[in-house]
A = this chain, B = another copy of it.
């Protein structure tokens, strides 16, 4: 006579990013009960987040509800809440929803911005990790032009039309390129008093070259593409002081009223609650199979993990997170089945970054490409890896429309808005009809 089956093991996956979502999906049909906990109700395709920040795409073009993705996978239950603390000994994750006990844990909460000890800079120079970040940055960019149009003081007006990006990695390069295009093309004819094509965009990088992780030749090409767009590229230059309207880089002072931060990341703060060895960026140092040495039932994947690869640590990119998430799920199942687990090996297929309209750099294995061909490759790779037919279609249509019209489809300023003129009560609003484009022409 068959006995009643024991309850299936409960696997808690924290984080619905590339690592956590792919861990969950790879367990489709496995004899476990999975809870996927995320503080958002969607999976975000982060590589395109800068396009939301620069008004080219909608948030929902690159974000898909986790429940919709996992609807048919009946062994997964999605819970909307924030993980706050892990108690490894009690096997419990404490969350905004209350304590969640687990038999196996896959922790994949990712990374957040790092201001290298200057956390006060975060309000002046926001970073780009979440949808809310992207909508805030979009608002700042669009409001800067609105404020410039209404500003009688020519110096202040020029500060509104100056944008500085700190950090010359892929995100910084992509933001700088898009910022230049917004002024040169998208908004070129939309104002009456200012001339948006006079926009100044400055990209600041601490290393000797931008795209430091790419081959040197591609860094040069990227610099040239950016300079063709009018971006000023400063390398070997560290931000030493930063306020709402001023950035100091060495002994150089940059007066800019929109500052964006793309310089550093650190692991999400939950790693501090584990009581296990972390690297300098707060990432958890894991065993070769991605588990914790002290707790073999716990696996860490994605940007939260410090994974040793053949050529140094595995980089914090989407492909690596996807591979690590799937590997962690396999390792976890080998614990369930009491079979040996295998070391993780990152298969690096290359990397790519766009630099505005019809230009990109890409490394595919040892092959370096740049310009239009790299851009087309970039388009295809990103559309293919987006989740969901609708999103692929919407993103392709959005890009096609932008390419043809030079416009951007999501130029809305949403949320709270400040009054644009601080001296509002004193002077009349200029009625800019008689002498167009006077404000930004230097004499």
Residue A419 lies at the interface, judged by CB distance under 8 Å to chain B: yes
A412 touches B132 (CB 8 A): no
A146's closest neighbor in chain B, by CB? B80
> Does A100 sit at the interface, judged by CB under 8 A?
yes
Cβ contact within 8 Å between B414 and A132: yes
Q: How far is the CB of A38 from chain B (nearest CB, A)?
A: 11
Task: Give A433's nearest chain B residue, CB to CB.
Answer: B33
Task: State whether the Cβ of A383 lies closer than 8 Å to any Cβ in chain B.
Answer: no
A399 within 8 A of B: no
For the complex formed, measure the closest distance between the CB of A143 and the CB atoms of chain B, giving whole angstroms: 8
- State the CA gap A142–B10 with chains docked (Å): 26
What sequence of 0s and 1s flags, for each residue 58-78 of chain A, a beta carbon within 8 Å of any chain B beta carbon?
111101010110011011010
**Shortest Cβ distance from residue A9 to the other chain B in the assembled complex, whole angstroms:** 11
CB pair A190–B67 under 8 Å, yes or no, is: yes
In chain A, positions 406-443 with a C-beta closer than 8 Å to chain B are: 407, 409-415, 417, 419-421, 423-429, 431-434
- Chain A residues 32 to 80 lying within 8 A of chain B, measured CB to CB, are 33, 35, 39-42, 58-61, 63, 65, 67-68, 71-72, 74-75, 77, 79-80
Tell me the complex Cα distance, A283–B185, Å: 42
Residue among B39, B60, B98, B390 making CB contact with A421, cutoff 8 Å = B98
Q: Which of B42, B190, B429 is in CB contact (< 8 Å) with A98?
A: B429
**Pair B68/A190 contact, Cβ less than 8 Å:** yes
In the complex, what's the smallest C-beta–C-beta distance from A345 to chain B, in angstroms? 33
Closest 9 CB pairs of A and B: A67-B190, A33-B433, A96-B419, A98-B424, A60-B410, A80-B146, A77-B192, A58-B58, A65-B411
Chain B minimum-CB-distance residue to A187: B67
For residue A80, which residues in chain B have a CB less than 8 angstroms away from its CB?
143, 146, 150, 413, 417, 420
Most-contacted residue by chain B among A7, A77, A407, A427 (CB, 10 A): A77
A93 to chain B, nearest CB (A): 9
In the complex, whether A315 has a CB less than 8 A from a CB of chain B is: no
| A97 within 8 Å of B (CB atoms) | yes
Apart from A8-B433, A80-B413, A96-B424: 14 A-B pairs, beta carbons within 8 A: A33-B431, A41-B146, A42-B411, A67-B187, A67-B190, A71-B190, A77-B432, A79-B149, A79-B429, A80-B417, A97-B150, A97-B420, A97-B429, A131-B414
